[in-house]
Amino acid sequence: MAHRHFKLFKPYGYLSQFESNARHEKNKKFLGDLYEFPKGTMAIGRLDKDSEGLLLLTTDGKVSYEITGSKVEKEYYVQVDGVIDDEALYKLQHGVEISHRSDNYVTMPCRAILLDDPPQFPKRLKNIREHRHGETSWISITINEGKFRQVRKMTAKVGYPTLRLVRVRIGTITLDNLTMGSVQELNNLLE
């Protein structure tokens, strides 16, 4: 039987897993609530409950392993608290020390740039915060690794906590025109 592959625009508040794998989670929303995935489908990597954006899914464990490796770029658009400065961007680009599994870890160099215009994502169901609490800015961060809540830890470390995080690209696959919560079946996930 041929493997099947999907891309999904994961909404805020959903766990990157299937209910059958997470029975201990009460009153939570799972990927299976969004689409009738075939048996054996797994999320490639994770987006935490508070994150949104591109999530790839497959029935092929080998493909999943290749994509989660450090050879495939993952790009995120991140709304941060405050107007980020060049010094903070420089620190992000060259690696910052974060905690990972109770150890300290220095992130690999990455691409981090200020976005001139805020991206046009659908409004989130839960408000991020009121404008009167100060300015925000959007940055693009592209990494080749993916430690638990890494991007959030990185922006906090340089003094600009993450308010909203949306993954927009994995390798050459992008969100394109997917609407929030929608799924598109793909022929393959690797070039």
Q: Given this model, what pLDDT does residue 20 score?
A: 54
- Model pLDDT for residues 132-188, shown as the tens digit of each residue: 678 999 999 999 988 888 999 999 999 999 999 999 999 999 999 899 999 999 999
* Radius of gyration of the CA atoms of the chain, in A: 17
For residue 69, give Cα distances in angstroms to 28, 73, 143, 164, 171. Answer: 28, 9, 11, 25, 11
- Specify whether the CB–CB gap between 128 and 79 falls below 8 A: yes
Helix (H) or strand (E) holding 30: strand 29-30
Q: How many domains does the chain have?
A: 2
Single out the catalytic residue among 33, 48, 85, 176: 48
| Alpha-helical runs (H) found in 38-149 | 61-68, 86-94
Neighbours of 20 (CB within 10 A): 9
Q: Residue 15 domain-assigned?
A: yes
Residue 57: which domain range?
5-69+175-186
Q: What are the tokens at 104?
A: 């300290």
Above pLDDT 90, what percent of the chain? Answer: 71
Q: Given this model, what pLDDT does residue 101 score?
A: 83
- Model pLDDT for residues 72-100, shown as the tens digit of each residue: 999 999 999 999 999 999 999 999 999 88
Farthest-apart Cα atoms in the chain, separation:
55
Mean pLDDT of 1-5: 90
Q: What are the tokens at 100?
A: 């990972």
- Model pLDDT for residues 23-69, shown as the tens digit of each residue: 566 678 999 999 999 999 999 988 999 999 999 999 999 999 899 87
What CATH number corresponds to the domain at position 32? 3.30.70.580
80 and 164 both lie in a single domain: yes
What CATH number corresponds to the domain at position 145? 3.30.70.1560
Let me know if 81 is a catalytic residue.
no
**Cα 21 to chain center, whole Å?**
20
